Amino acid sequence: MEENFVRAAALLGEPARAAMLWNLLDGRAYTARELALCADLSASAASNHLRQLVEAGVLRAVKQGRHKYFGFASEQIASVVESVGTLLPVQGPALGMAARRSGLWYCRKCYDHLAGHVGVLITQALLNRQLLLPAQGAFLLSPAGHTWCVELGIEVPVGGHRPVARPCLDWSERKSHLAGALGQRLLSRMVELGWVRPVAHSREVVVTRAGEQGLATTLDLRLPPHAA
């Protein structure tokens, strides 16, 4: 296990690979050329790094037409990458409410679910209303939570290769937001309803006025004002 840990740390910790992995946290798949640009690498150097990550099972590659797209091999791996950001304290001035009300800190995607200040507040509201119940390293959807999902138009996930609902440690809030299949379906439904709008070429997610009203109605959650 020690050998495995050292290998994993070396794979994730190399600066160029770390930059590519961090950019993949927006949940989209990218070509080697696109990932080379975000890590400031040559195409050949990026391909070498990506080959190592695919061989190790960290990333998967899918060929589509003339292009090959890279993405995380699983949600669990994406969660590990996101969680590494919480290991060290954020450098600079202490994070205040003003920072939590802007940009990525306020609301963003964490792979395929909602994170940031808004993601944590939604998760806490679900727990406070006992729609989610804490369990050992996971969340359980209560009967009331099942009804809430159905009324919102969310197809309730059942058991499979992916956990239904689990906590994911938020790197900016240092608290958990909702991940797992339910986290993914909640974000997708919020996009469908026009409650949130992902920002192009960014992990940032904008909460719309309809979203603010919807969260207030369905969860009695009143979001703090967003700072431009």
How do residues 128-175 score in pLDDT, each as one tens digit? 999 999 998 899 999 999 999 999 999 998 877 788 999 998 888 888
Burial of 119 (0-12, 13-18, 19+ CB in 10 A): buried
Q: CB of 87 within 8 A of CB of 174? A: no
How do residues 39-86 score in pLDDT, each as one tens digit? 999 989 999 999 999 999 999 999 988 889 999 998 888 888 887 877
Q: Say what the pLDDT of residue 100 is.
A: 57
Confidence bin at 201 (pLDDT 50/70/90): confident
Confidence bin at 92 (pLDDT 50/70/90): low
Q: Which amino acid is at 108?
A: R
pTM reported for the whole predicted model: 0.75
Task: Give 2's Cβ-side CA count (13 Å radius).
Answer: 0
Q: CB of 86 within 8 A of CB of 169? A: yes
Confidence bin at 204 (pLDDT 50/70/90): very high
The DSSP 8-state label assigned to residue 204 in this structure reads B
Whether residue 187 is predicted with pLDDT greater than 90 in this model: the reply is yes
8, containing H or E segment: helix 2-13
Q: Say what the pLDDT of residue 186 is.
A: 98
Class for the domain spanning 2-73: mainly alpha
- Name the 3-class secondary structure at 23: helix
Residue position matching structure tokens 């990506």: 50
Residue intervals of the chain classified under CATH 1.10.10.10 are: 2-73
Four-residue CA torsion sign, 150, 155, 159, 165: negative
Beta strands 108-110; 113-115: pairing state: antiparallel
Q: CB of 101 within 8 A of CB of 204? A: no
Least confident span in 4-18, 98-112, 206-220:
98-112
What is the distance between the terminal CA atoms of the chain, rounded to a whole angstrom? 46
